[in-house]
Structure 1
């Protein structure tokens, strides 16, 4: 390992994880695979019923978790629907934190074209929600130029300062720490003061990771996983993010001003398996490997 076990454990503390309504339907009890209070994001996918997201958030709340529903700007009809959703989230699911994203659709279905427009309605604040995540793109986005991304990020920094909001950035998943660390430094130099949760692909087969990478538009990391996917014999082997986590922990420890604070896991290889993996690392249950990185000692 490049980083120490203590550095990796510190970097991996207070991790969060993602679930889709479809994925949630396969989980009998979140309390069986998560510690109380774990932060779980609930997706609002294009074309889906937003009340499915409400239902999963309610389940998470009842199981003692911290549900963080997505609010996808381009999939919202209008302020009335946004208001109704926020009312349902807070009253039915005890929601105190949300993630506001643009949403992966080419044309907005309603009046919102970007996440900043949703934030500027003041409706989230109306419901007492001040912990708000916004999207981060270490490798750029197919929906918006790099210049527009930085401009939007600075507007969100200004909004957080003006309204006293606890905004943070949550990124798309990637596979290479150097890209993430360079991106963090670049937006910090541009004026970013928002803490960052870095998206981590949970352990999964190379075939599965390649499939998700294809639809996510993650640029350089796509080439990284595509190179491995060319080896047909390895398609069904499980790829662990241990090198990525090791390198991120080292970079975070080496730069005291680094704004990366936490990891957010995408459970491509299964929700319970990813949760157990993340918890083992946060507990320091790891051992170094001869060729670099580490093995998580999952119970």
Structure 2
């Protein structure tokens, strides 16, 4: 039976288009430039960066909505300064852009700016009920996390999924980008073996210069061994080379093709630009059949 505090079905958005993408408030102009190549209704996540303010996040959500896409605000728990700060931001996002889904993450800061130590603490608060949030995105790390052990990652993921489903919310998992397709396939296998049938969006880095990809990998804690980098097509000796995820995509496709791994979609990290990344996804998605 659905939790009495859950929003009505009309407010719950389910799987949606086959791939999503991500943007920052400062880069929102790229959405308007690339509008003609982005499929209508595409979910576009809005990163929660420390060097941007709430007005930039709200404006980005509004631009995305007015452009015909689905804004998906990412809420960084450790960056929220107070409960009031939380409510002002989420309330304004809903008033201005009516997002049907939010992604809750811990965030980068080592110490919280306010009362929420991590995304678990934020979920445990009354945020879902207060703002009638029906569809929640959570993140996962198929290649591991530099500060969190593997089993702790699994325990946390299972807790979030169970908590949200018990609260009558729908859930979607978005994975961190990476370079090891085999690790993603193994993670998907275990996810389903654990009894979690939640839809998954696999993070795919768009075409970009090697140096930029490696900088983002370091920033987000993505482990990049020489072997994995070479398999992906990264030349560690030349950071100015531009590389796309063709090898990663081919290996990932082979690993999941014909398998009963549930609902699997994609999340584009357009490090080399929105237009080029979206065009790459549009060309390659038919290969997934």
TM-score with structure 1 length normalisation? 0.83
Q: 1:259 to 1:75 in 2, by over 3 A?
A: farther
Choose 41-50 or 66-75, whichever is displaced more: 41-50
Q: Give the alignment of 1:156-171 within 5 angstroms.
A: 156-171=160-175
**How far does residue 17 in structure 1 lie from its aligned partner after superposition?**
0.6
Indicate if the aligned counterparts of 1:66 and 1:95 stay in contact, CA closer than 8 A: yes
- Number of the residue aligned with 1:228: 234
1:279 shift after superposition: 1.7
**Any idea what the Cα deviations from partners look like across 1:120-143, whole Å, max 9, x if unmatched?**
223234333211110101122233
Q: Which residues in structure 2 correspond to 1:9-158 (within 5 Å)? A: 14-29=18-33, 31-158=35-162
Q: Aligned in 2, Cα 1:46/1:243: closer, same or farther, shift over 3 Å?
A: same
Match of 2:11 in 1: none
Q: Which residue of 2 aligns with 1:5?
A: none
State the Cα distance separating 1:223 from its structure 2 match: 6.0
Deviations 1:258-298 (A, max 9, x none): 1451110101111111111112223x3x7xxxxxxx9xxxx
Task: Specify which structure has the bigger relative contact order, considering alpha-carbon pairs within 8 angstroms and separated by 6 or more residues.
Answer: 1
Mapped to 1, the partners of 2:283 and 2:133 lie a distance apart of 31
Give the CA deviation at 1:238. 2.2
Q: 1:203 to 1:30 in 2, by over 3 A?
A: closer
Cα offset, 1:179, TM superposition: 0.7
Unaligned runs of 5+ in 2: 1-16
Residue 214 (structure 1) aligned to one of 218, 221, 228: 218
1:267 corresponding residue in structure 2: 270
Structure 1: gaps of 5 or more residues: 1-12, 287-293, 295-299
Q: Is the 8 A contact 2:106 2:117 kept in 1?
A: yes
> How much does 1:219 deviate?
1.4
Q: CA deviation at 1:167?
A: 0.9
Number of residue-to-residue matches in the alignment: 270
TM-score, reference length from structure 2: 0.85
Any idea what SS the aligned residue of 1:109 has? coil
